Amino acid sequence: MELTEQEIEAIESILNDQEIENIDLRAIGSHSLVSCLDQCDCESAGVKFLVRLSVVPKFEEEELLFKMKDKVDKKEVTLRSLPAIELLIALPSSYPSSQKPLLLQMNKFYSDILRWEDFIYQKLDEKWSEDIPVLYEMVILL
């Protein structure tokens, strides 16, 4: 587990307290963002670390321009930034040797509105390979 702890520390060194949170598994039931999880579920899945990421996607300003149209009111809104990608990352005891991080996207904007959830999971999954820690690369990708 030492390798995983070092990887989390490396991420904490580049993100602030609002962007990363290491969640204590013993207090999982009282945590507002992860109340849907149960300590027993985490233990039975072999989860040793639970990390919450809240990262705003970074784009070059001239590249970022999203237009959203309301089909009912026929109004258009231009977005110059996107909301944070909220990921709950569960690291099993066999990570990184034989199991990849388990990901749960917490922000409905990317799943319900833009429908990017599968795309985000696919890109993050592509970074993983056995015996290689990938959390830091995942954060940089976002």
Model pLDDT, residue 32: 52
Q: If you search the block for the tokens 């945590």, which residue do you land on? A: 31
Query: Model pTM?
Result: 0.71
Q: Which two tokens stand for residue 111?
A: 């799943």
Q: Which two tokens stand for residue 55?
A: 């990262």
**Backbone phi, then psi, for 30, in 5-degree steps?**
-95, -5
Q: What is the DSSP letter of 113?
A: I
Model pLDDT, residue 104: 79
- Give the mean pLDDT per block of 10 residues along the chain (142 residues): 81 88 70 51 72 81 70 80 84 83 79 69 75 80 76
The one-letter code for the residue type at 111 is S
